Chains A and B, each alone.
Chain A
Amino acid sequence: GENVEQHPSTLSVQEGDSAVIKCTYSDSASNYFPWYKQELGKRPQLIIDIRSNVGEKKDQRIAVTLNKTAKHFSLHITETQPEDSAVYFCAASNTGNQFYFGTGTSLTVIP
């Protein structure tokens, strides 16, 4: 099955700085890569996703890049704000039905 690795496990940045979270996957058949944000005590929610026919996608301060050859994808958050503090999960899927999640990155934005 698919194996998704995520780094770093924790990340602290100063408000206004950028944050980058990286994931690798093992199954070359995976073609859909969502990112979920989980605030403390709440449910994970989708913040951005990318499909394998696209190399980069942006949504305001958030961007995701995908390198299919190297089997890795990254989340970039620019101009971080305290409300960006949360746990972020990457995931990979090749069917749209079965999602394999990374172990999560706890991001702290220091005011």
Chain B
Amino acid sequence: DAGVIQSPRHEVTEMGQEVTLRCKPISGHNSLFWYRQTMMRGLELLIYFNNNVPIDDSGMPEDRFSAKMPNASFSTLKIQPSEPRDSAVYFCASSSGLFTGELFFGEGSRLTVL
């Protein structure tokens, strides 16, 4: 398996623009997580899905952030409108959801909002 695949790897955009980050989890994994990593806050859980259903989105910072998982092999994290404080590395991770424990992370999407 190719692992968790994220795109884009790098995104530079201007304040106010819409940003869409994409994730393809490992085939067969039914739990998907979006994390944000910054120097100040470390790894923050934004939202996670189980069987394509959002289970906990309490970590989503505000209404500008939204996430979807239309099917088992694809998820998006959207920021609209983007702000400079959204600059961070966004990681997608998946797990089999059977309490095997291991989270498999993608390579991350580094977002810079100017």
Q: In this assembly, does B102 line the interface, its C-beta being within 8 Å of a C-beta of chain A?
A: yes
- Chain B 51-69 interface mask (CB, 8 Å, partner A; 1/0): 0000110100000000000
- B42 and A44: CB pair below 8 A? no
Decide if A49 touches B105 in the complex (CB within 8 Å). Answer: no
- Chain A interface category by residue count: 20 to 34
Question: Is residue A103 within 8 Å, beta carbon to beta carbon, of the partner chain?
Answer: yes
CB contact between B97 and one of A89, A96, A101, A103 (< 8 Å): that residue: A96
CB contacts under 8 Å to A, within B74-114, are 91, 95, 97-103, 105-108
Other-chain contact of A97, B43, B48, B105, B106 (Cβ < 8 Å): B48
Residues of A within 8 A of B108 (CB): 43
Nearest-Cβ distance from residue A53 to partner chain B, whole angstroms: 13
- Report if A43-B101 is in contact (Cβ < 8 Å); known contacts: A102-B42, A103-B41, A104-B42: no
Residues of chain A within 8 A of B35, CB atoms compared: 101
Q: Is the CB of A89 within 8 A of B43?
A: yes
- Of chain B, the residue at the smallest CB distance from A96 is B99
- Per-position binary interface string of chain A over residues 22-64, scored 1 when its CB falls under 8 Å from any chain B CB and 0 otherwise: 0000000000101010000011111001000000000000000
A99 to B100 Cα, complex, angstroms: 13
> Is the C-beta of B50 less than 8 angstroms from some C-beta in chain A?
yes
A93 adjacent to B42 (CB under 8 Å): no
Residues of A within 8 A of B (CB): 1, 32, 34, 36, 42-46, 49, 89, 93, 95-104
Q: What are 27 pairs between A and B in contact, CB < 8 Å? A: A1-B58, A32-B101, A34-B101, A34-B102, A43-B91, A43-B108, A44-B43, A44-B91, A44-B103, A44-B105, A45-B105, A46-B101, A49-B102, A89-B42, A93-B101, A95-B99, A96-B95, A96-B98, A97-B31, A97-B55, A98-B45, A99-B33, A101-B35, A101-B42, A101-B43, A103-B41, A103-B42
